[in-house]
Amino acid sequence: MALANLPHELLDIIVEYSLPQSFEHLATTCKRIYSRCTTFIKRHNELRSRFRDFLYWAHKRDSLVAASDLIHLIAADPMVARYIRSANLMDDSRFLSRPRVRGEPPKSVPSIDDGGVVVQLFANSTYLRRAQLDWREYYSTFAEDVGEMRYSQHGSAFLLTLLSDTEDLSIPRSWEPNAATNQLLDVLAKEAQQSCFLSSGLRSVTSFLGSLSRAETEPENWGLSWARPFLALPHLKSFSGPGSLAVGENPRTLAFRGSPHIADTLEAAHLCSCWIDDVGITDLLKHTPRLKTLIYSHRAQHDYHPPDWDICKFINAVAREAGSHLIQFSVEILELRGSILPGKASTRSFQKLKKFEFPLKLVMCNINAAGVTGNIATSLQYFFNGSRDPFVRDLIPPSVTHLSLKSEGIGPYDKALDALFRHFRAVADNAYKQQCNKIVAEGGREGVVVHLEAYEYSGGLDWDG
């Protein structure tokens, strides 16, 4: 092997460069290369154990509680960043409000005049330069935050530029976007999309979790616009943005607003405890052509949220924008200060939807819109027989195999349940009998006599099994 014939000095450089992704494969190629790898094995195992699934912690022996701590480590040893596959940064600075276990303050950062590896890391940052940010001014803000023992948005955003191999990212709970960090993140997202920047920060991220700090008082600062750079990452598959706001009457809250950013690799979106209207969800879904799963739960807790929600327009917008490719769709109402606006929902645009969950209030909307006062239970029978009954087809696409209905108690929803399921047993029995007759007929054609006997089952469901 030509590689094994290289001088030891060159071989050691190759081995170190293979850390961590290809190290173990390289070590097993031949005895000579393995012998050169043995000196790196202990360090490889330590770094992998310590940083592969990273999260902040306060420990008397080894404390890492803020972005400044991790930046310190990476500045001293850049190899650390390459080992971080899962970066759970949610607790950034959370431990600063309580005494450190070992009785020491957080790691300070040197002044610009003092210099050092941390200062040099900022001074040499191509991201700050391409974002047209003065690194001295940026660093000074970061150093001031650290000196005051408070969360640093400048530090947390800069840390993301160093994570080129992270696949699973959760940003800090205290995340507070500002003009400077937004500029930095926009550059980060744009470079991650370009193939010429293979080691770009966040380029490898496939799963993202994040929401905004509730210290912000302006409602537009709670919008989905903060997530635009993350949604544009080139390999993102799963996005979670709890507590977000996206409403048409406040365009600044929208994720894209017609911007060129795209999210065409996204397959799952979890929007829990959010307030999003039909305009907000349309703005997002127009950029997610591969979305397969959409989980949404509605919550209105604050005065600046509109009290009423038009769930029908929301459902119709999802069907219109994602009906051709969505496979799982869940809508839940966690809290509503006002009421559900009257309307009519239609799910006829869903072509591949398998799992569907929605509140019974949606059924009541369609019942009221149709002016139905009598018994419409036979609609389900038409549905099972392949008929295009308008009432059921507007609520349950034929492709659905798993249906879940959410309610807030019995209340007025007995009418909705009665409308859908009064004749369910009779319909199911009829479908079963048809299947049995089909089996008997097919057996007869092959010369086989099939005897089917009814079996009465009196036991309950075995939940343990």
88: helix, coil or strand? Answer: strand
160 part of a folded domain: yes
**Within this chain, do residues 56 and 46 fall inside the same structural domain, yes or no?**
no
**Within this chain, do residues 161 and 269 fall inside the same structural domain, yes or no?**
no
427 part of a folded domain: yes
Where residue 427 falls among pLDDT bands split at 50, 70, 90? low
Query: Taking a C-beta distance cutoff of 8 angstroms, is the pair 203, 197 a contact?
Result: yes
Distance of CA 206 to the CA centre of its chain: 9
Question: For residue 219, is the peptide bond before it cis, meaning its omega torsion is within 30 degrees of 0?
Answer: no
333 part of a folded domain: yes
Closest CA relative to residue 341, chosen from 317, 319, 318, 314? 314
**Within this chain, do residues 463 and 359 fall inside the same structural domain, yes or no?**
yes
- Output the pLDDT for position 63: 80
Alpha-carbon distance 384 to 398, whole Å? 9
Token pair in block for residue 212 = 């905004």
**Which range of residues forms the domain containing residue 265?**
215-465
Alpha-carbon distance 221 to 24, whole Å? 46
**Within this chain, do residues 189 and 220 fall inside the same structural domain, yes or no?**
no
pLDDT digits (tens, 9 = 90+) for 86-111: 999 999 998 876 655 444 555 678 88
**Within this chain, do residues 185 and 323 fall inside the same structural domain, yes or no?**
no
Burial class (CB in 10 A: 0-12, 13-18, 19+), 415: middle
Task: Give the end-to-end CA distance of the chain in Å, rounded to a whole number.
Answer: 56
Token pair in block for residue 404 = 């879940």
31 part of a folded domain: yes
Where residue 131 falls among pLDDT bands split at 50, 70, 90? very high
Sorted by sequence, the CB contacts under 8 Å of residue 144 that are 6+ apart come out as: none
**Within this chain, do residues 236 and 358 fall inside the same structural domain, yes or no?**
yes
Token pair in block for residue 42 = 């202990």
Q: Angle at which helices 153-160 and 179-193 pack, to 10 degrees?
A: 10
Is the confidence at residue 177, as pLDDT, over 80?
yes
Scan for tokens 């018994």, then name that residue.
375
Query: Taking a C-beta distance cutoff of 8 angstroms, is the pair 173, 211 a contact?
Result: yes
Scan for tokens 């081995």, then name that residue.
15
**Within this chain, do residues 190 and 237 fall inside the same structural domain, yes or no?**
no
pLDDT digits (tens, 9 = 90+) for 287-311: 999 999 999 999 886 666 678 899 9
Partner residues linked to 239 by β-bridges: 208, 269
Q: What DSSP line would sit under 106-123, residue for residue?
A: PPP---TTT--HHHHHHH
State the total domains in the chain: 3
**Within this chain, do residues 222 and 103 fall inside the same structural domain, yes or no?**
no
Q: Which of 27-31, 167-171, 227-231 has the highest mean pLDDT?
A: 167-171
Q: Give me the mean pLDDT over the 56-70 stretch.
A: 82
Give percent of the chain above pLDDT 90.
Answer: 40
264 part of a folded domain: yes
Residue that finishes a domain, picked among 50, 67, 82: 50
Residue type, 373: T
- Output the pLDDT for position 99: 52
- The alpha helices in 151-220, defined as continuous H runs, are 153-160, 179-193
Q: Give me the mean pLDDT over the 44-64 stretch.
A: 79
**Within this chain, do residues 163 and 234 fall inside the same structural domain, yes or no?**
no
210 part of a folded domain: no
**Within this chain, do residues 130 and 93 fall inside the same structural domain, yes or no?**
yes
268: helix, coil or strand? Answer: strand
Residue type, 413: Y
Partner residues linked to 270 by β-bridges: 240, 295
Q: Give me the mean pLDDT over the 246-270 stretch.
A: 87
- Output the pLDDT for position 175: 92
Is the confidence at residue 12, as pLDDT, over 70?
no
69 part of a folded domain: yes
Query: Taking a C-beta distance cutoff of 8 angstroms, is the pair 163, 81 a contact?
Result: yes
**Within this chain, do residues 74 and 31 fall inside the same structural domain, yes or no?**
no
- pLDDT top residue among 145 and 19: 145
117-150 exposure pattern, b = at least 16 Cβ within 10 A, e = fewer: ebbebbeebebbeebebebeebbebbbebbeeee
Alpha-carbon distance 91 to 94, whole Å? 5
**Within this chain, do residues 304 and 387 fall inside the same structural domain, yes or no?**
yes
Burial class (CB in 10 A: 0-12, 13-18, 19+), 32: middle
- Output the pLDDT for position 186: 92
Distance of CA 443 to the CA centre of its chain: 50
